[in-house]
A and B are shown apart, each in its own frame.
Chain A
């Protein structure tokens, strides 16, 4: 018997699991796949929290500002490289444009625009889905009056590979940067930039090296403490494209934090159903156990409480059948809010289908949208599965997932 069983290994699930374990609860986290952190840019967006809180039934209406702030602080606590500030900060996209963000690693935060510096874009040879010319042009556009230059670099280990015309993903490069040779090569390039700069006699200018993808070890995910070198110039990392090295290492890191706190993990397992029935007609159902399929076996797991964070349309928590004949929460068949309109003719406009999800009471317990009645007494819903929001147009994906995951853990 666990105090809580968390279903889903995405951002909300991990946050919930870690927080519950930190509070000394006996927690099991079950996940079938890898969640959508693999599309993670490295930046958590919170959006205009106070404005969004006024939208009817938006998940933010379930939390007060204190709860939102608590979640933010919690991220910083478990991952100190993430900087919490009261005002939004800015970072570079993979295209070299400037975007805002609320919570991001220190190395990603843009330098103060009031203090011009010289940016040197260091481009690893053959990096897939990265366009130096575009980034250079966008940097020049975004920082008028700043000096921007480019330097290409080749890593010995990949020389033959790129010579054959094969590209290298940013995840592969991130692996290289975590090795001793990679760190030395990078440090060498950076020293070289500094040396040339000094030779040109421009010592008073502030110099910043811009690097695509993840190069610094901002959390020690592998627990091996790889060789780590101090670079001779400040580094500015750009946010990730997919597949995201930030997402990959962040997920791995969260997994370690969770395990270190005594959390139990079941990977590659598919939660199938709740086994529970109401004792009488009018009583709210309480769920004693969960059926899980894992490695060809069927298991029944007992828990006091359950946190459902299996994601939305993208994560696979909600499935929409052909011609929308069936729209289901794919594990527990929770009743869903389904918007009347379905799509907007403009692709990048708010899409009605994004609002689909589970409605809850203020304790994140699922409600039947038909009659507002509580469905399960001991089940809490967190993350993308919540109804009435759109992470992409409201720019609040990280905010809702972190806040609801944290809040769910507080209810255990």
Chain B
């Protein structure tokens, strides 16, 4: 049993949890974050990657819209390297509700969202695939955000100020004394070691797992687990975010990311916090809905389907909820007020765009309890670092501009050592992942991170396997580095291959047709024939 003493335990390594860790660390409050899997393995890596302008919410929820636009501006400032400022369009189609259009324009003005109408002819020139059913097109400051990069940037910043974290560490129960929470009991899932962490406050930021955490001690967090399914196309169909200008619904957002485009989403209530299975009906439905904005959608190649669980807050009493001073979209639940238990707070609901604001509210609450009077600095202090000009120049000289820039966005202030390694040994500049332009040197660097325990963890840090080949080539190319980093000989390496291929296959099976089916046959030929992997038993 390992004993740890700290001020605050944060449960959950998604964007909110890591955002809270950063905020606490910046205010000088010692904190430990515990995550049952790898960072961002839940909702934070399972969304469309849209940095909302708020345009989607202006009609139904003015407050949420205002929060979005404020956070949108802040994040573009503090995390520019994680965001592609694509802008976004709201497209009003033939037959859409004209009343909604009027309400939307008014709502944007009220929320402070800058709207510019794009002449139709110009719109078709800029986005040639846009449906000719479009009647009016409005530009808003939507953008796309790389949830992985953002989360790791927050983590690095938190670490710099003393924040600590442990992944693959599952909270087993809350530690209660005299009816109050004084810490947690947890288990290191890799070593099997038990942990006993004493703290003044426990923050439950476990997203879809929040109700499970609270339930450990018999408390209730009223939450709806809502599954959203998304599709990934193998190319950039659009260069900006495309929204359907109507009451928000299913399959009405296209978000371009690096080399791919994501179409989302659906909305179903589910029971389990990790129900990430996408069925073919969802896929068919998304394609039908997507057709409204992109008529020829069925000609394009879907490389993957995935799903995330939205942890939506459901209050029994709206007035009471408003009384907590947070928006309807996220809620801070003080268990002292609700259940008479000191030392525990839960944060539920919200969206990635407002993760920083949620973290700020939680940290304000914690600071008050701990009587710490430092103010929040997360809105001002940038997450990225100025990279020295020499490093930029050298990286671009060695790798070319496109690959160098992508690498520097991912690595930020740690770029220097990787560039140095490539300069010393130029062949380390070979790409492991050609889709996302990840070099051997970068993979080796990521593998030094003690929290990388598998090829799948490596994927979240480097985007390896997330491009158009879906892991066919890059899994193979990572072989020597994996064996070096993980040890365990060939058997272990083969297990890692299997795990990553299985994870990728799960996302491919719902879209197994067309060119993606062909690509899958190629992958089977490679692994079963060329590399002579053993045939698996049928999984039924």
Q: Which residues of A contact B (CB under 8 A)?
A: 36, 39, 41, 45, 93-95, 97, 99, 126, 128-129, 131, 133-134, 137-138, 141, 162-167, 239-242, 312-314, 316, 319-324, 342-351, 353-354, 391-393, 395, 397
Contact = CB atoms under 8 A, between A and B. Distances in A.
A93 B531 contact: yes
A133 B521 contact: no
Nearest to B522: A314
Nearest to B422: A165
B269 interface: no
Contact of A95 (B299, B425, B479): B479
B427 A165 contact: yes
18 contacts: A39-B522, A45-B529, A134-B479, A134-B480, A134-B490, A137-B490, A162-B426, A164-B426, A242-B526, A314-B518, A321-B513, A322-B513, A343-B512, A345-B506, A345-B539, A346-B536, A347-B502, A347-B524
B501 A348 contact: yes
A313 B518 contact: yes
Nearest to B482: A134
A348 B535 contact: yes
Given A239-B530, A393-B528, 8 more contacts: A39-B525, A131-B479, A167-B430, A347-B536, A349-B539, A354-B524, A392-B529, A397-B529
Contacts of B536: 346-349
A222 B535 CA distance: 38
The 5 closest A-B pairs by CB, nearest first: A165-B426, A99-B532, A392-B528, A346-B539, A347-B505
Contacts of A322: 287, 298-299, 302, 513-514
B223 interface: no
B476 interface: yes
Given A133-B483, A343-B509, A323 B287 contact: yes
Contact of A346 (B480, B489, B537): B537
Contacts of B427: 126, 162, 165, 167
Contacts of A314: 518, 521-522, 525
Interface string B219-256: 00000000000000000000000000000000000000
Nearest to A135: B480
B540 A345 contact: yes
A15 B268 CA distance: 54
Interface residues of B, number: 56
A86 to B, nearest CB: 22
A99 B533 CA distance: 9
A241 to B, nearest CB: 6
Contacts of B331: none
A10 to B, nearest CB: 13
Contact of B513 (A137, A242, A324, A349): A324
A314 to B, nearest CB: 4
A127 to B, nearest CB: 10
Contacts of A351: 524
Contacts of B498: 348
Given A165-B422, A323-B280, A129 B537 contact: no
A319 B498 CA distance: 28
Contacts of B529: 39, 41, 45, 391-392, 395, 397
Nearest to B503: A347
B530 A41 contact: yes
B209 to A, nearest CB: 24
B477 A129 contact: yes
A51 to B, nearest CB: 14
B12 interface: no
B501 to A, nearest CB: 5
B79 interface: no
Nearest to A347: B505
A167 B431 CA distance: 9
B392 interface: no
Nearest to A91: B532
A205 B534 CA distance: 34
B261 to A, nearest CB: 16
Given A164-B426, A165-B429, A133 B480 contact: yes
A99 B534 CA distance: 10
Which of A162, A342, A354, A392 has the most chain B CB within a 10 Å cutoff?
A392
Contacts of A392: 524-525, 528-529, 535
Interface in B489-510: 489-490, 493, 498, 501-502, 504-506, 509
Contacts of A347: 501-502, 504-505, 523-524, 527, 536
A36 B519 CA distance: 12
B283 interface: yes
A314 B529 CA distance: 14
Contacts of A162: 426-427
A141 B490 contact: yes
Nearest to A239: B530
Given A131-B480, A137-B483, A347-B502, A313 B530 contact: no
A393 B298 contact: no
B534 A348 contact: yes
A42 B482 CA distance: 27
Contacts of B484: 133
A286 to B, nearest CB: 32
Contacts of B480: 131, 133-134
B284 interface: yes
Nearest to B473: A129
B426 to A, nearest CB: 3
A323 B513 contact: yes
B355 to A, nearest CB: 33
Nearest to A126: B427
A89 B210 CA distance: 58
Contacts of A323: 280, 283-284, 287, 298, 513
A129 B534 CA distance: 21
A393 B535 contact: yes
Nearest to B506: A345
Contacts of A39: 522, 525-526, 529-530
Which of B280, B302, B529 has the most chain A CB within a 10 Å cutoff?
B529
B302 to A, nearest CB: 8
Contacts of B526: 39, 242
A89 to B, nearest CB: 14
